[in-house]
Structure 1
Amino acid sequence: MKAMDEKRALSNLPSGRLRPSWLLLLSFLMVPFSYSLAQDMRADLPANNSLRVENRRGDVRVEVWNEPHVSVTAVFVGETPQSSPVIIRRTEQLLNVLVASGATGPASSLRVNLSLHVPARTRVEILTNGGGVEVLGIPAALTAQTQSGNIKFIFSDPAAGLNISAKASVGKISVVTPDLVRKGVPAFESVRGKDGKPVRLSSERGRISLLGGVDTRAPGPPSAEERTPPPLEQKPPTLGGTTDEQQSVAGTPAAPLTAPEEIDEGDVIRVDTELVTLNVSVVDRATSRGLLGLAQSDFKIFEDGAEQPITHFESASAPFNLVLVIDLSGSTKDKLKLIRDAALRFVDAARPEDSIAVITFAGTAVLVSPLTTDREALHRRINAIESAQGDTKLYDALNFAMTDALKDVGTSRRTAIVVMSDGLDGTLPSVHGDGSRLSYNEILSQIREFDGVVYSLWVDTEYESLSEQDTQPEDFDAGHDRMAELAEAGGGLFYEVDKLEDLAGAYERVVADIGTVYSLSYHPSNNVRDGKWRAIRVRVTRPNAVARGKSGYYAK
Structure 2
Amino acid sequence: MIRIAAIALVGLAVAGVSAQQPVFRAGVDLVNFGVFVADKAGTPLTGLKPEDFEIVEDGTRQTVQYFAGGDPENAPPLHLGFMIDMSGSMADDMKDIRTAAIRFLDNVKRVQDITVVDFDTEVRVARFEGDDPRLVEHLRRRKPDGYTALYDAIGVYLTGASSQTGDKILVMYTDGEDTRSAMNQGELLDLLKSSDVTVYAIGYLQRGGSNRLTLQQTLHRLASATGGQAFFPTNLKDLDKMYEKILGDIAARYSIGYLSTNKRQDGAWRDVKVRVLREGLKHVKIRTRSGYYAPYKASEARR
* TM-score of the aligned structures, taking structure 2 as reference length: 0.79
The aligned counterpart of 1:403 is 159
When residues 413 and 533 of structure 1 are mapped into structure 2, their CA distance, relative to the original with a 3 A threshold, is: closer
Distance in 2 of aligned mates of 1:463 and 1:551: 30
Distance in 1 of aligned mates of 2:293 and 2:156: 23
- Report if aligned partners of 1:356, 1:373 keep a CA contact under 8 Å in 2: yes
The aligned counterpart of 2:103 is 345
Q: In terms of mean alpha carbon deviation, does 352-361 or 395-404 score higher?
A: 352-361
Q: Deviations over 1:176-213 (max 9, x none)?
A: xxxxxxxxxxxxxxxxxxxxxxxxxxxxxxxxxxxxxx
- Corresponding letter in the other structure for 2:56: F
Structure 1 or 2: more helix by fraction: 2
The aligned counterpart of 2:168 is 415
- Report if aligned partners of 1:359, 1:366 keep a CA contact under 8 Å in 2: yes
The aligned counterpart of 2:196 is 451
Distance in 2 of aligned mates of 1:353 and 1:439: 31
Superposed, 1:82-121 pairs within 5 Å as none
- Report if aligned partners of 1:362, 1:392 keep a CA contact under 8 Å in 2: yes
Q: Deviations over 1:439-472 (max 9, x none)?
A: 11111100111122111112113355xxxxxxxx
When residues 547 and 371 of structure 1 are mapped into structure 2, their CA distance, relative to the original with a 3 A threshold, is: farther
Q: Deviations over 1:362-406 (max 9, x none)?
A: 111223x41311153323333x233232211000110121224x4
Q: In terms of mean alpha carbon deviation, does 537-546 or 438-447 score higher?
A: 537-546
Offset at 1:352? Answer: 4.4
The aligned counterpart of 1:461 is 206
Offset at 1:415? Answer: 0.7
Offset at 1:553? Answer: 2.8
The aligned counterpart of 1:276 is 31
When residues 507 and 93 of structure 1 are mapped into structure 2, their CA distance, relative to the original with a 3 A threshold, is: farther
- Report if aligned partners of 1:419, 1:456 keep a CA contact under 8 Å in 2: yes
Distance in 1 of aligned mates of 2:89 and 2:122: 17
The aligned counterpart of 1:425 is 178
Say which of 430, 434, 438 aligns to 2:183: 438
Distance in 2 of aligned mates of 1:492 and 1:463: 22
Q: Secondary structure at the match of 2:228?
A: strand
The aligned counterpart of 2:256 is 520
- Corresponding letter in the other structure for 1:460: L
Offset at 1:528? Answer: 3.6
- Report if aligned partners of 1:363, 1:391 keep a CA contact under 8 Å in 2: yes
Identity %: 32
- Report if aligned partners of 2:199, 2:226 keep a CA contact under 8 Å in 1: yes
Distance in 1 of aligned mates of 2:272 and 2:221: 18
Distance in 2 of aligned mates of 1:510 and 1:363: 28
Distance in 2 of aligned mates of 1:393 and 1:476: 18
Distance in 1 of aligned mates of 2:208 and 2:156: 29
The aligned counterpart of 2:271 is 535
Distance in 1 of aligned mates of 2:153 and 2:111: 25
Distance in 2 of aligned mates of 1:450 and 1:300: 22
- Report if aligned partners of 1:448, 1:553 keep a CA contact under 8 Å in 2: yes
Tell which structure's C-alpha radius of gyration is larger.
Answer: 1
When residues 93 and 335 of structure 1 are mapped into structure 2, their CA distance, relative to the original with a 3 A threshold, is: farther
Offset at 1:515? Answer: 1.2
The aligned counterpart of 1:307 is 61
When residues 283 and 328 of structure 1 are mapped into structure 2, their CA distance, relative to the original with a 3 A threshold, is: same
**Structure 2: 5+ residue stretches without partners:** 1-15, 17-21, 297-303
Superposed, 1:79-228 pairs within 5 Å as none
State whether structure 2 residue 142 is matched by structure 1 residue 390.
no
Offset at 1:535? Answer: 2.2
Offset at 1:423? Answer: 4.4
- Report if aligned partners of 2:88, 2:144 keep a CA contact under 8 Å in 1: no
Offset at 1:330? Answer: 4.2
Q: Secondary structure at the match of 1:279?
A: strand
Q: Deviations over 1:193-246 (max 9, x none)?
A: xxxxxxxxxxxxxxxxxxxxxxxxxxxxxxxxxxxxxxxxxxxxxxxxxxxxxx
Offset at 1:476? Answer: 3.4
Q: Secondary structure at the match of 2:121?
A: coil
* TM-score of the aligned structures, taking structure 1 as reference length: 0.45
**Structure 1: 5+ residue stretches without partners:** 1-47, 49-90, 95-270, 427-434, 465-472
Distance in 2 of aligned mates of 1:340 and 1:412: 28
Structure 1 or 2: more strand by fraction: 1
When residues 534 and 387 of structure 1 are mapped into structure 2, their CA distance, relative to the original with a 3 A threshold, is: same
- Corresponding letter in the other structure for 1:293: G
Q: Deviations over 1:282-321 (max 9, x none)?
A: 2123x31112232222211111332111112222322311
The aligned counterpart of 2:6 is none
State whether structure 2 residue 74 is matched by structure 1 residue 321.
no
Q: Secondary structure at the match of 1:462?
A: coil
The aligned counterpart of 2:49 is 295
- Report if aligned partners of 2:89, 2:145 keep a CA contact under 8 Å in 1: no
Number of residue pairs matched? 268
- Report if aligned partners of 2:203, 2:230 keep a CA contact under 8 Å in 1: yes
- Corresponding letter in the other structure for 2:123: A
- Report if aligned partners of 2:69, 2:254 keep a CA contact under 8 Å in 1: yes
Structure number with greater CO (CA < 8 Å, separation at least 6) is 2
